[in-house]
Structures are given as structure tokens and as C-alpha cells.
């Protein structure tokens, strides 16, 4: 047991640059995925709640399909399938492996969008329907009422769930290592390949993932307390 912990200390001390690069890339992917997923998730939620049938049908099919298929399949389709259809991601000279990062972020964003859309829809539906009627009665259009009256109230319900989505994306982002993105799991595998110390390397990765998600959960809890105080 003492050798196990000494191996962990040695590996982290010697290969901390590998793990730090992995942490940075993991956080970048998670941030972009949640940000893009939230922007399009709002649009998708609006479409699903729309009274225009084609828009509602498109949003419903998209959300159900993405939530009903594995992220791995979606990632493989984006990275390997799109180039077969003639759709490729450009390379950027000053960003190594940009096309891989772009594919990973797009796949994670598409997946996150479906879940965020449901979070936003449930948050909006939790707002008293009388708020929309009151806004319409003073001359707001449906879009204006949604943007200026309903959404600001729904944010109280949405933000904690979005925080949880960010934590989930951090954990799920480990899957992008299969397409060669140097996230935390990819760099952990690099350390394993060099040192042949599998269990200590995985233990370091597990602790790092826990620290990132725990810090995020504490921040979410703090935000919820602040919002509940504001509500009172």
C-alpha cells in the first residue's frame, strides 16, 4: 500500500505537466460544450414549446434522438462520418489538432444541447402561466414576453441544473480521448504507456476528476444558497 501511494506521488511529481495539460483541455472542452449547448438549447427549447408544428416536431425528434443514442456514437459520426460526406473541420496553424478539438466540442455541444433544452423547457414551464398572460395583456408579443418576463424568472430554476450539466460534461468529456484529443484521460494513458503503472495513474486521474467536479458542485451549492436568499 505504501508503494502504491509513493508511486502516485512520484508519477504526479514527474508527469504533472501531462496532467495539467489534460486538465486545461478538459475544462476548455466542457466550457465550450456547455456554452454552445446552452445557446442552442434555448433555441431548441423555444422550438419544442412552439405552437408551430414543424418546429415543435423537429425539436422533439432532435432531443429524443440525441438523448436516446450514445455519446460515443455521436462522436464517431462527427469525427469519422462527416469527412466521408465531404464535411471537414479546418486546421488552424497556431492551434495543434484543431480539427480534433472542433469535432470533440461539436459532438459534446450537440449532446449537451439536447439535455439543456429539456432543462430550460422545464424551468420555463415552472413559471406561473399567469406571467405570460400578464405580459401579453400589457402589449408584449409572445417573444418579448418570453425574453423579458418569463426567462428572467426561469433562470432561478435553470442555473443550478446548468451547473450540474457542466459537471456531467466534465466527466463525459473523457470520451474524446478516443479521437486523440489530449484531455485528462488521454494524458493519463500517455503516462501509463511510459511508466506501465496503470492503477496509480488512474488513481491520479480519478482524484483530479473528483476535485474538478467537487469544486463545481460546491460552486453550484453556493449559487443556489445565494439565489434562495434573494428569493426570500
Write down the pLDDT at residue 230: 53
What is residue 109's predicted lDDT score, i.e. its pLDDT?
93
Give percent of the chain above pLDDT 90. Answer: 36
User: How many CB atoms lie under 10 A from the CB of residue 111?
Assistant: 23
Q: What is the pLDDT of residue 20?
A: 93
Query: Which pLDDT band holds residue 231 (cuts at 50, 70, 90)?
Result: low
Q: How far apart are CA 112 and CA 50, in angstroms?
A: 21
**Which domains are present in the chain?**
2-231 (1.10.3720.10)
Q: From CA 163, how far away is CA 160, in angstroms rounded? A: 5
CA-nearest of 36, 21, 5, 27 to 212 is: 27
Are 169 and 25 within 8 A, CB to CB?
no
Task: Classify 128 as helix, strand or coil.
Answer: coil
Q: How many angstroms separate the most distant Cα atoms in the chain?
A: 72
What's the whole-model pTM score?
0.83
Q: Is the pLDDT of residue 99 over 90?
A: no
Q: For the chain, first and last CA: distance in Å?
A: 51
pLDDT tens, 178-230?
888 888 999 999 999 998 899 999 999 999 999 999 988 888 888 777 766 65
Average pLDDT along the chain: 86
Q: What is the pLDDT of residues 105-123, one digit of tens each?
A: 999 999 999 999 998 888 8
Greater confidence, 129 or 75?
Answer: 75
User: What average pLDDT does this structure show over 58-67?
Assistant: 94
Q: Provide mean pLDDT across the span 134-140.
A: 82
What local confidence, expressed as pLDDT, does residue 205 receive?
A: 94
Amino acid at each position: 500500500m505504501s508503494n502504491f501511494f509513493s508511486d502516485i506521488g512520484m508519477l504526479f511529481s514527474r508527469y504533472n505537466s501531462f496532467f495539467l495539460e489534460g486538465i486545461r483541455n478538459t475544462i476548455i472542452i466542457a466550457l465550450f460544450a456547455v456554452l454552445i449547448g446552452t445557446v442552442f438549447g434555448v433555441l431548441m427549447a423555444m422550438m419544442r414549446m412552439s405552437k408551430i408544428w414543424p418546429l415543435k416536431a423537429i425539436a422533439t425528434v432532435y432531443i429524443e434522438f440525441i438523448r436516446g443514442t450514445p455519446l460515443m456514437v455521436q462522436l464517431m459520426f462527427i469525427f469519422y462520418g462527416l469527412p466521408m460526406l465531404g464535411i471537414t473541420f479546418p486546421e488552424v496553424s497556431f492551434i495543434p489538432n484543431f480539427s480534433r478539438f472542433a469535432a470533440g466540442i461539436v459532438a459534446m455541444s450537440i449532446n449537451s444541447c439536447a439535455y439543456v433544452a429539456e432543462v430550460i423547457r422545464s424551468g420555463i414551464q415552472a413559471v406561473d402561466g399567469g406571467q405570460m398572460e400578464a405580459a401579453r395583456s400589457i402589449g408584449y408579443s409572445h417573444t418579448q414576453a418570453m425574453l423579458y418576463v418569463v426567462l428572467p424568472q426561469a433562470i432561478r430554476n435553470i442555473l443550478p441544473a446548468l451547473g450540474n450539466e457542466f459537471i456531467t460534461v466534465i466527466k463525459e468529456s473523457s470520451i474524446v480521448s478516443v479521437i486523440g484529443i489530449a484531455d485528462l484521460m488521454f494524458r493519463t494513458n500517455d503516462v501509463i504507456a511510459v511508466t506501465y503503472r496503470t492503477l496509480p495513474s488512474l488513481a491520479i486521474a480519478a482524484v483530479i476528476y473528483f476535485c474538478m467536479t467537487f469544486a463545481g458542485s460546491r460552486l453550484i451549492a453556493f449559487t443556489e444558497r445565494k439565489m434562495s436568499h434573494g428569493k426570500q
